Structures are given as C-alpha cells and as structure tokens.
C-alpha cells in the first residue's frame, strides 16, 4: 500500500512539474510556500531554492499589501473553500504582470485545514488586449458623444433608443435622461407616422443593411427641421441582429440655401427670358411705330383734302381709329420693354384721376362704381402723365373684367417713405402709392405668379393682349418705381403702383395743373427744315405734314446724305430720327451742332434709347406723332418760348 501511494504521489508530481503555463504551488496554513513548479519559476522568476519557505505575499504589490489582500485571500479560501481574483503581481525583477489567481483550501479527511493550493496564470496579454479594447471603446464613445453636428445613437431591434450623443441633444432638444428607452418614432411627423415610415425604415435597414432618406423631423419643442437620415443594421459574428446605428444630420439651412439659390436661378432665367422678349418686342414695336407713323400722318392729311363725302370720310375715320388702336398697342409693347420715350413731369394724382372721370365712366360701363380716396394734400409724382393715365385705365379695365356681375373699383393714393431695406426693393426716398382695388374673382397663386408676364392673359382668345400689367410694370420700372400685385382667389385684387415723389416748387405745380385749353397758340412762320429718316415711308409722311404746315422741306435718308444736304441748302431746323444705321440721329446732331452751333435740332424717336441726361440740349419728339404735335415741337425747337403751345396752322 505504501509503495502504491508513493507511486501515485510521484505521478502527480510529474504532472504538476510538466505544467509551464501555470504557477502551481502549495502554501501552508500561514501562507508560506512549501512547493514550487517550473511554471511558477517561468513567469515569477524565482527558483525553488530561492522561494521555498518564503511568504507568498512577496508576489503582491505594495498597494495590495497595504490593504492586507494576501491575508484576506487566505481567510476567504479557508472560510469558503476558494478564493478567485485578478490583479497585478510582482516578479523577482520587480516588473509587474496581470495574474488570474485561484486559491483552494486543502483539508485532511477529518476536515482539518492543512494548507492551500494556489494556481496563478499570467494573463497580461489578454488583460492588455482588453484594456486596449476598453480604451478604444472609450475613445469611440467620447468621439460619438462629442460630435455636435450629427445625431449618432443606437436603437435596439425594436427601435428603442439605447444611446444618445451631443449632436442629437443639440438639434433634437432631448437630454439623455429624457430619451433613453423611448421609441425613435417620436421624431417623425404625424404624416410619416400615418404611413408607417419608422417601421418601414427599420425593415429596410434589416433587410438591405441600410436605409437612407431625407425628410421633416420633429424637435422636442414641436418645430420641424429637414433631416438626412441613415440607419445601418448592427449584427454579431453569427449574423444575429443586435440593433441599429442611426445617424441624422440637420440640413435645414442647406435646404433653405438651396431653395433660395433655385429661386434666384429661376428669377435669373425669367429675367433673361423677359429681356429677350423685351428686346424682340421693342424692336418690333419700333418698326411698327414707323408704319403707324406713315399711316396716321397720311390719313390725317387725306382727311383734310378729300371732299366731304360721308361714305369716304367714314372709312378714313375708321382706318384712323384702327391705326390709333395700333399705336396704343405699340405703346404697351414699348412700355413692357421699357423702351418708350417718357416725358417725366410732376403729376398730381387726384387731378389726373378727376380728369379721367368721363373716360373711366365710358370705358367701365354702368355696372361698375368708382370710389376715389385721396388725402387732402398729397405730393405730385414724377411720371409721364399720358402713360400714367393709360396705366390707370388699364388697371381699371382689368378690375372691371374681374367683376362680371358688377362691383366697385377703388382708386386711392397715399404717401410712403422708405428709409432702409424695403420689401419693394426700392431705394430710400419719398414715394406716392397709387392703388387700384376691386372685390372681384381674384387670382390663385399660380396666376398671381405669372400676372406680369408678357402676353399672359386669362381672358378669352381675342379679348386681351396680355400686355396690360406688363406695360404698367414696365412704366413703373422706367419711372423709378415698382408695381406690386396682391390678390387672393375669391377675395379680390389690389394693384399698387409706387412712384417717386417729384421735387417741384408751387409755381411749377400751378403751371402743370393748368389745362391745355389755357395755353396760347404757337405762332409759326414758314421755315426751311431738313427732315432725316432712314424709313422712306416715315420720311415722306413727315415731309408732307411739314409742307402742309407751310414749311419748305429738304429730305435725307441717312446721316451722310443729311450732311451733304446741309452743305447745299441753308436750313432753319434739323429734324432727324434717332435710330439710323452707321450714324444715329444724336451723333448727327452733335456733329452738326459742332459746325453750326446756332442751328436748332429736333430729335424724333420711337422709344427710349435716349435717357433724360443723354442729350438735354436737343428737344425730342416721340413717335408716332400727329401733325399738331409735330407743329408744336417744331415751333418749340425754333423758339423755346413757343414750346408746349398749340400750333396755329396756316390757311391753305
């Protein structure tokens, strides 16, 4: 029996000594080391001769010794049969290693404590890897929680929020304690919830690995923001779904900036389109003006010379009225293109509207009532009286058409002062706002957006040119003002024409308000006139009207021919068209004036190529003109005191 026990002890001894990855040794009841194996020597550094008889506490750090950890470990093992822990231990050379320690109590068959079996394993590499992992996770956590421009948080497989970062708190408004454990659908709008979007988003991320979209989301305070959202599924190594990573970015500012950019781009394209149409319209209107010039002038002269036969004169009058309507349409086209020749003067709005009373009554019909509202005192505006009258008439007729069952049109005016930035985008200054309002059908948003587009009309075919509002808009812009259209469907329309206040003295106002009948007739005398125009029809017509007024007329179809005529014939007045090839009328006038400084020059123009300051020394005559307007302009050019007076035609 003794030999058999000894043989078993020898086998166990061989087994323990063969283990090199574990320190396996025994302690007596006091903690003194009584056995030592190669594994212990390998990573603790002591040989068996050096360590047997020493207390095992020498392997502990000073910090652990200070807390009596060695004693407490043995006590726990004695009382509970086992002690297990991890911690720093010390090698012979003083270096430390991370150890996993198990101490088991050893008792006799009678239960008496004999000592302790101690097994220690060096797990420094594992501990370092775990520490590195914890550090990495901590760095990642700090990174995620510190991101302020993105909401980065996790959801469990059911969509419950399990983490929350600073960015999420910043633009969603919830603190971490408020939101953890809540379902992420609370960030969605009611419209999206109604379509089950939160559930569908998670289902897509689970099925495809990712969900990405943009849309409105809701903050804690109920306000909305435009968000870009990415949801990624999170799975373990076996492919089991652990939850979702959700990244949200607030793109509200970028979206608004993009919308503003698109609006600006659309406005730019619209401006380009309007400019192109304006160029085309202005050119066509200019040529049409020349044709009308020839027609109106010829009809006027024919009317005076044919015998009084109702059958003939009625046809001439009808043709003359049709040509006048064509001239009115041309003025609208030029106003839209901002290329009409405006005669800016101080206009008193109440007097202008009162002077239109009969015209408005005849034009609007018996079912329309006109209500005027003006303050007792209001400043005059700087505008072309004839064009402004036409604009108010156009607006009033549009208002009438919006009230097929009849109603009231209100024409009013008020003064406004612009100091800083203003919705009209007009520069600072004093303005008078002329309003034409109706209680008619109004316009929907789409119609309102296109109201001032050229040739856009809601009237039937043949009932409107679509140039009414665009003409008024062009007039306002060319006068230094602005047209504002406000309308709602079934609530009526109010159109406001902002015009700059005219800086005039009282005497000038009294002069302006005097009626045309008070002016004295201009006394004309026969003079020699050189008429210049590259359009043969217009030139012939102009010469005929001048000759009918008793003047001697020399004709030239170009600036070069005019210069040659001046060398051959003495003249008292140069009447020249502006728009001519090679050398225009202004260039011709300046060249003539350089050689003949005393020769009066009258410029005829069909549109506003000339600004008010371009050639102030030369009076101008707007096309198309009547014989009376021509005679008045000639008289004023030759004798400035006669300017504006009615022409007294000589007897034939």
Q: Where are the domains of the chain?
A: 2-123, 147-250, 260-336, 345-511, 519-647
Interval 326-357: pLDDT, tens: 766 666 555 554 455 566 788 899 998 888 88
Q: Residue 497 — φ and ψ, nearest 5°? A: -110, 105
Please, what CATH class does the domain formed by 260-336 belong to? mainly alpha
Contacts of 434 (CB under 8 A, 6+ apart): 349, 381, 392, 411, 412, 413, 496, 497, 499
Three-state SS letters, 198-225: HHHHHHHHHHHCEEEEEEEEECCCCCEE
CB 292 within 8 A of CB 325: no
Cβ-based neighbours of 11, under 8 Å, separated by 6 or more: none
C-alpha 455, offset from chain centre: 26
Tokens of 273: 């389109």
Degrees, nearest 5: CA angle 94-97-102: 115
Per-residue pLDDT at 615: 56
Q: What share of the chain is helix, strand, coil (3-state, %, to 5)?
A: 45, 25, 30
C-alpha 103/C-alpha 108 separation (Å) is 17
pLDDT score, position 143: 54
pLDDT at 284: 61
Paired tokens of 439: 């209680």
Ramachandran category for residue 444: left, alpha or beta (phi over 0 → left; psi -120 to 50 → alpha) = beta
Strand partners for 492: 488
pLDDT digits (tens, 9 = 90+) for 38-87: 888 888 889 989 999 999 999 999 999 999 999 999 999 999 999 999 99
Q: Are 338 and 271 in contact (CB under 8 A)?
A: no
pLDDT at 273: 57
Contacts for 243 with CB less than 8 Å, ≥ 6 apart = 154, 155, 156, 157, 162, 233, 234
Above pLDDT 90, what percent of the chain? 30
Q: Which residues contact 82 (CB under 8 A, 6 or more apart)?
A: 76, 102, 103, 104, 105
What whole-number distance in Å separates Cα of residue 44 and Cα of residue 94?
Answer: 10
Contact 233, 248 (CB under 8 A): no
In the numeric block, the tokens 């010379």 are attached to 305
For Cα atoms 128, 134, 138, give the angle at the middle one, nearest 5 degrees: 145
Dist CA 102 CA 125 (whole Å): 19
pLDDT of residue 511: 36
**392 in Cβ contact with 430 (< 8 Å):** no
- Residue 332's pLDDT is 56
- Decide whether 2-123 matches 147-250 in CATH topology: yes
Full-prediction pTM beyond 0.75? no
CA 33 – CA 591 distance, rounded (Å): 126
Please choose, from the candidates 38, 31, 30, 32, the residue with its C-alpha nearest in 3D space to the C-alpha of residue 14.
Answer: 38
Check whether domain 2-123 has CATH 3.30.450.20, yes or no: yes
CATH architecture of the domain with range 147-250: 2-Layer Sandwich (3.30)
Residue pair 26/117 in contact (Cβ under 8 Å)? The answer is yes
3-state secondary structure of 31: coil
* pLDDT score for 638: 85
**Residues of the chain under the 50 pLDDT cut:** 1-7, 337-338, 460-466, 505-521, 612-613, 644, 646-652
Pick the CATH number of 519-647 from 3.40.50.720, 3.40.50.880, 3.40.50.2300, 1.10.1040.10: 3.40.50.2300
Residue 358: partners with Cβ closer than 8 Å, 6 or more residues away = none
Please answer whether residues 299 and 320 qualify as being in contact, where contact means their C-beta atoms are separated by less than 8 angstroms: yes
Residues 543, 533 contacting (CB under 8 angstroms): no
CB atoms under 10 Å from CB of 490, counted, come to: 10
Of 366, 380, 284, 370, nearest in space to 332 by CA: 284
User: In a 3-state reduction of DSSP, which class is residue 488?
Assistant: strand
State the chain's maximal CA–CA distance in angstroms. 169
CATH number 3.60.20.10 given to 345-511: no
Distance CA 635, CA 651 (A): 17
CA–CA distance, 426 with 592 (Å, rounded to integer): 40
* Spatial separation of the C-alpha atoms in residues 359 and 124, rounded to whole Å: 105
E runs forming strands in 561-610:
573-577, 601-605
Q: Are 37 and 24 in contact (CB under 8 A)?
A: yes
Distance (Å, rounded) from C-alpha 578 to C-alpha 534?
10
Question: What pLDDT, on a 0 to 100 scale, did the predictor assign at position 420?
Answer: 79
């Amino acid at each position: 029996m003794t030999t058999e026990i000894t043989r078993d002890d020898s086998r166990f001894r061989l087994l323990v000594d063969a283990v090199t990855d574990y320190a396996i040794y025994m302690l007596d009841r006091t903690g003194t080391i009584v056995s030592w194996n190669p594994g212990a020597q390998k990573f603790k550094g002591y040989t068996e001769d050096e360590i047997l008889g020493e207390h095992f506490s020498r392997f502990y750090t000073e910090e652990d010794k200070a807390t009596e950890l060695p004693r407490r470990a043995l006590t726990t093992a004695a009382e509970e049969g086992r002690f297990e822990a991890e911690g720093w231990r010390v090698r012979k050379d003083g270096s430390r290693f991370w150890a996993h320690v198990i101490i088991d109590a050893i008792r006799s068959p009678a239960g008496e404590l004999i000592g302790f079996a101690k097994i220690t394993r060096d797990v420094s590499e594992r501990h370092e890897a775990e520490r590195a992992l914890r550090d990495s996770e901590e760095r990642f956590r700090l990174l995620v929680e510190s991101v302020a421009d993105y909401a980065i948080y996790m959801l469990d497989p059911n969509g419950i929020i399990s983490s929350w970062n600073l960015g999420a708190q910043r633009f969603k408004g919830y603190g971490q304690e408020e939101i953890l454990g809540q379902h992420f659908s609370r960030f969605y709008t009611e419209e999206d919830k109604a379509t089950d979007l939160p559930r569908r988003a998670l289902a897509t991320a689970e099925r495809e690995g990712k969900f990405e979209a943009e849309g409105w989301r809701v903050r804690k305070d109920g306000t909305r923001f435009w968000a870009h959202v990415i949801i990624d599924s999170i799975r373990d190594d076996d492919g089991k779904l652990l939850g979702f990573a959700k990244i949200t970015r607030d793109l509200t500012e970028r979206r608004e900036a993009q919308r503003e950019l698109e609006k600006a781009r659309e406005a730019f394209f619209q401006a380009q389109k309007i400019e192109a149409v304006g160029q085309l319209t202005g050119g066509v209107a200019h040529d049409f003006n020349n044709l009308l010039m020839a027609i109106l002038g010829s009809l006027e002269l024919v009317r005076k010379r044919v015998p009084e036969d109702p059958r003939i004169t009625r046809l001439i009058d009808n043709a003359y009225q049709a040509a006048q309507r064509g001239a009115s349409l041309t003025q609208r086209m030029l106003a839209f293109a901002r290329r009409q020749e405006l005669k800016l003067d101080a206009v008193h709005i109440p007097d202008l509207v009162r002077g239109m009373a009969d015209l408005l009554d005849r034009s609007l019909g018996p079912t329309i009532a006109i209500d005027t509202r003006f303050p007792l005192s209001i400043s005059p505006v700087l505008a072309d009286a004839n064009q402004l009258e036409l604009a108010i008439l156009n607006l009033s007729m549009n208002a009438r058409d919006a009230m097929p069952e009849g109603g009231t049109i209100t024409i009013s005016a008020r003064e406004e002062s612009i100091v800083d930035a203003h919705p009209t985008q007009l520069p600072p200054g004093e303005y008078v706002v002329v309003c034409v309002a109706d209680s008619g059908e109004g316009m929907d948003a789409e119609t309102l957006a296109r109201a001032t587009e050229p040739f856009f009309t809601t009237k039937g075919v043949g009932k409107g040119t679509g140039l009414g509002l665009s003409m008024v808009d062009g007039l306002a812009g060319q006068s230094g003002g602005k047209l504002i259209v406000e309308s709602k469907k079934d609530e009526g329309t109010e159109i406001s024409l902002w015009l700059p206040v005219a800086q005039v003295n009282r005497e000038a106002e009294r002069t302006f308000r005097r009626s045309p009948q008070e002016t004295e007739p201009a006394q004309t005398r026969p003079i020699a006139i050189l008429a210049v125009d590259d359009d043969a029809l217009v030139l012939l017509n102009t010469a005929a009207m001048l000759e009918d007024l008793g003047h001697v007329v020399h004709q030239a179809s170009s600036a070069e021919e005019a210069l040659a005529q001046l060398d051959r014939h003495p003249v008292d007045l140069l009447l020249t068209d502006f728009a001519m090839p090679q050398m225009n009328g202004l260039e011709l006038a300046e060249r003539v004036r350089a050689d003949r400084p005393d020769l009066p020059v009258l410029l005829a123009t069909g549109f506003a190529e000339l600004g008010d300051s371009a050639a102030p020394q030369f009076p101008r005559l707007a096309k198309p003109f009547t014989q009376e307007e021509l005679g008045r302009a000639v008289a004023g050019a030759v004798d400035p005191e006669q300017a504006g007076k009615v022409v007294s035609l000589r007897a034939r």
